[in-house]
Amino acid sequence: MTLDERLENVAVIGAAGKMGSGIAVMIAQEMAKLKLQPENSDKIYRLYLIDINEKALDGLRSYMKAQLTKVAEKSTVLLRSLYTAREDLVENRQVIDAFVDDSGSVLNFSPDMSVARNAHMVFEAILEDEKIKIKLYKKLKKICPDHTYFLTNTSSIPISFLDEHAGLDGRIIGYHFYNPPVVQRLVEVISPKAMNDELKQLGSQLGERLRKKLVPSNDISGFIGNGHFMRDGLYALSELERLQRTYRQVGALYVMNTVSQNFLLRPMGIFQLIDYVGIDIFQCILKVMRTHLGDARLRSKTIDRMVKLGVLGGQYSDGSQKNGFLQYEKSRPVGIFNIRKKEYFTINDRWKKKMDGIIGPLPDGLVSWKGLLMDPGRKDRLHTHFTALKAIDSLGAQLAVSFLQKTKAIGEELVKSGVARSADDVNAVLTNGFYWLYGPINEYV
């Protein structure tokens, strides 16, 4: 079966969630584009959006319409070429509305799994729980035809494990979109031991169709993305525990967050990133990795305490940031959680100045992540920045150099242990999926 044929009937399970809804938007667009080709005029396209949360499915209806409108507004030139036969569509607005109608007409919302019974391709993006995922796949195996392929968005569960426990006979692939899937170009593709060649090919063709950058990862829990991020986060947490003896927990957290953002030139500080992902999600992925890899080091007391206190980070449904290690106002950190007192400490100018003095200055010729993002001379500027950093004798510079070394060692270990096939793949995941300006395996340290 070709990709075009498979795109005639698709199901997304967990469709009302963060990842499922994004995947649904992309597939709806591709279906609508196919439907508009004259040779497909007699075909029926169906996209089944399935979620156990019926209330969330209601919200998904308006979300899909808004997102499909947004996408259509950005691609009027392409849409005009698709609608050349429709002389009645004169204004751009009419073309946009026609596309929103056409893509909307393929959608079917349901809490009932059995509507996936004719799906040629099923995207699964339900919560990260292997028991629940296996139960779901066992059900799907009974419902769906033998030719159905399953694409799981799991962030950490080995695909072979799901395959073997649900008896899918190699009909499953790890297709790990990043959040938000419509915007993020990266997809980590994980092929389990038993996967057949047709599915492998389908994964490549789909990536091309969705204009994604595919990076292969071996089927080892956490894969490349979380394999790196979890260990990077754990390093920052261990540094926090060490530094808090001197600067107290609130001060130590400020130091590590500031150093990881401003000195390492990352889009956000490490604790901001953990908040963004969700502290409970961070804990959950650590647990999956700890179990599958048998590595007791994949745990953090600080994370466990935060989850126990119910301080979880993550996002509200409008995308704004919830409080976690940091307190946010309009997505900017304004406070730091004091774990002992169970309250936020407000960052004031005097305290910030004192802490910045303790951290020490950044190298001269200040550069920022944002400033370097589009800079064609970025490589040289990064080289200058890190060379200068190594020459500075300050707390911030020392912590940054140690962090760079650790982050590089984590990346190299991913290659050595066979998670990643090459240093380039590790670097591709961190630069594309996490928006780093440089890969962790670099010549700066």
Ligand X SMILES: NC(=O)c1ccc[n+]([C@@H]2O[C@H](COP(=O)([O-])OP(=O)(O)OC[C@H]3O[C@@H](n4cnc5c(N)ncnc54)[C@H](O)[C@@H]3O)[C@@H](O)[C@H]2O)c1
Contact set with ligand X (CB under 6 A):
13-14, 16-20, 50-53, 56, 125-128, 132, 136, 153-155, 176, 178-179, 277
CB 178 to ligand X: min, Å? 6
* Minimum CB–partner distance for residue 170 and ligand X (Å): 20
Query: Rounded to an integer, what distance in angstroms lies between the CA atom of residue 326 and that of residue 339?
Result: 11
| Min separation Cβ 305 and ligand X, Å | 23
Could you give the CA distance from residue 117 to residue 373 in angstroms, rounded to a whole number?
A: 46
Is the CB of residue 130 less than 8 Å from the CB of residue 288? yes
Q: Which is nearer to ligand X, 23 or 79 (CB)?
A: 23
**Smallest gap from residue 282 Cβ to ligand X (A):** 11
User: C-alpha angle 246/252/255, rounded to 5°?
Assistant: 120
Q: How far is the CB of 14 from ligand X (least distance, A)?
A: 3
Residue 274 in tokens: 């953990």
CB of 411 to ligand X, least distance (A): 19
Chain centroid, CA 336 distance in Å: 25
Residue number of the CB atom closest to ligand X: 17
Nearer to ligand X, 71 or 186 (CB): 186
What's the min distance (Å) between Cβ of 283 and ligand X? 12
Max Cα-Cα span within the chain: 73
- CB contact at 8 A, 408 and 440: yes
One-letter amino acid for residue 337 of the chain = F
Beta carbon of residue 145, minimum distance to ligand X (angstroms, whole number): 20
155 vs 272, beta carbon nearer ligand X: 155
Task: Output 17 or 324, the one with its CB closest to ligand X.
Answer: 17
Residue that is written with structure tokens 């130590």 in the block: 252
> Which residue type, as a one-letter code, is found at position 220?
I
118 vs 179, beta carbon nearer ligand X: 179
Alpha-carbon distance of 126 to 281, in angstroms, equals: 13
- How many alpha carbons lie under 13 Å from residue 367 in its C-beta half-sphere? 23
The secondary structure of residue 168, as a DSSP letter, is: -
Q: Following DSSP, what letter does each residue of 343-386 receive, concatenated?
A: EEEE--HHHHHHHHHHH-PPPSS---HHHHHT-TTHHHHHHHHH
- Indicate the residue among 53 and 238 with the shorter CB distance to ligand X: 53
Please give the span between the terminal C-alpha atoms of the chain, in angstroms, as a whole number.
49
DSSP H/E element including 188? strand 186-190
Give the nearer residue to ligand X in terms of CB position, either 313 or 439: 313
Query: Nearer to ligand X by C-beta: 178 or 254?
Result: 178
Smallest distance from ligand X to CB 250, Å: 27
Residue 35 tokens read as: 């439907």
User: Smallest gap, in angstroms, from Cβ of residue 28 to ligand X?
Assistant: 17
Q: Which residues contact 340 (CB under 8 A, 6 or more apart)?
A: 249
Q: Is 441 exposed, middle or buried (0-12, 13-18, 19+ CB in 10 A)?
A: buried
Shortest CB 19 distance to ligand X, Å: 3
Which residue, 102 or 163, is less far from ligand X as judged by CB? 163
Q: Which is nearer to ligand X, 21 or 260 (CB)?
A: 21
Least spacing, CB of residue 419 vs ligand X, in Å = 17
- Give whichever of 16 and 95 is closer to ligand X, judged by the CB atom: 16
Please identify, using beta-carbon distances, which residue of 284 and 409 lies nearer to ligand X: 284
List Cα–Cα distances, 120 to 1, 66, 106, 176, 369, in angstroms. 9, 27, 15, 19, 43
Burial of 206 (0-12, 13-18, 19+ CB in 10 A): buried
Rounded Cα distance, 291 and 310, in Å: 23
Which residues of 191-329 form beta strands (DSSP E)? 213-217, 326-329
